[in-house]
Amino acid sequence: MKAPAPAPPVATVLAFDFDGTLHDPAGQPPVPAGFFELIQQLCREHAMAWGINTGRSLPFIVEGFAESRFPILPDWVVAREREIYFRSPRGRWLPHDTWNRTCAQQIHGLFKRLRKLLATIRHVVEESTGAEWLAMDGEPAGIIARTEEEMQWIIGQVQTLTRDEPLLGWQRNSIYLRFGHRDFQKGSSLAAVARHYASGPANCFAMGDSHNDMEMLDPRHAQMVACPGNALAEVKHHVTAVGGYVAQAGYGAGVIEAIRHFFPTQSNIT
């Protein structure tokens, strides 16, 4: 596929994590209608590009948009915390070819070099826990633990075993862990999206609830950061420490609250 044409300059880039931030599986609806109304109003009043920065694969997040009945689609998506796609005027998802190809090559090369180390980690996980090891096309190494505590134990082992391999990164979201490359995560991906729109950290807003959001909730990538009221305590602590906004409300209502905090509008949407 061809790389998307350079986008016209956009002053502000908004990045939302999906599961646990914008999307509440128990919500009716899972993403509040007020969010879309507010985003549409903001986009009318300011030059903005909004997107979803998620651990889901592209097909799975597209499914999420349909299930949650998104009345409008985001301008961009980061899938698997590292693959960038831009929405075409016809609603197709066009890959950021340069970024995605570099990312895939770097990960392939790294995992090839670290084959033995990953096999050791797999052995420890399978010998000592009931966690499941995942290896498939596009997802070379991942773990699903049975509990948060089990994942915490696994993280401790991984930290010890990978001490001498700074390029090997991992993204944790609850009981899920995905191995990857240190340089390709939600933060660096958001920075690449911002560059596409000729924007930068001072004009980036990011909001997330979990461990795998920490890199994008970093002032090096986004200087307006927030988390919903249901975020992990660690995330709330981090957001507070960097001068961000911790919403009182959870999930989508918290997202609306945070947007209103950073981008006051004339709106009377409640």
Binding footprint of Mg ion on the chain (CB under 5 A):
17, 19-20, 209-210
- Alpha-carbon span 169 to 185, nearest angstrom: 9
Taking the least distance from each CB to Mg ion, the nearer of 19 and 257 is: 19
Q: How far is the CB of 21 from Mg ion (least distance, A)?
A: 5
Taking the least distance from each CB to Mg ion, the nearer of 68 and 203 is: 68
Q: What are phi and psi of 70, to 5 degrees?
A: -65, 120
Taking the least distance from each CB to Mg ion, the nearer of 23 and 181 is: 23
- Alpha-carbon span 206 to 73, nearest angstrom: 18
Q: How far is the CB of 55 from Mg ion (least distance, A)?
A: 7
Taking the least distance from each CB to Mg ion, the nearer of 17 and 75 is: 17
Q: How far is the CB of 77 from Mg ion (least distance, A)?
A: 15
Taking the least distance from each CB to Mg ion, the nearer of 118 and 175 is: 175
Q: How far is the CB of 217 from Mg ion (least distance, A)?
A: 11
End-to-end CA distance of the chain: 42
Counted residue by residue, the chain has a size of 270
Q: How far is the CB of 27 from Mg ion (least distance, A)?
A: 14
Q: Within a 10 A sphere around the Cβ of 4, how many other Cβ atoms?
A: 19
Tell me, what DSSP letter sits at residue 75? S
- Alpha-carbon span 141 to 161, nearest angstrom: 15
Q: How far is the CB of 54 from Mg ion (least distance, A)?
A: 8
DSSP letters spanning 205-253:
EEE--SGGGTTTTSTTT-SEEEE-TTS-HHHHHHHHHTT-EE-SS-HHH
Taking the least distance from each CB to Mg ion, the nearer of 75 and 213 is: 213
Q: Which two tokens stand for residue 11?
A: 């002053």
- Comparing every residue's Cβ against Mg ion, the nearest one is 20
Q: For residues 251 and 23, is the Cβ–Cβ distance under 8 A?
A: yes
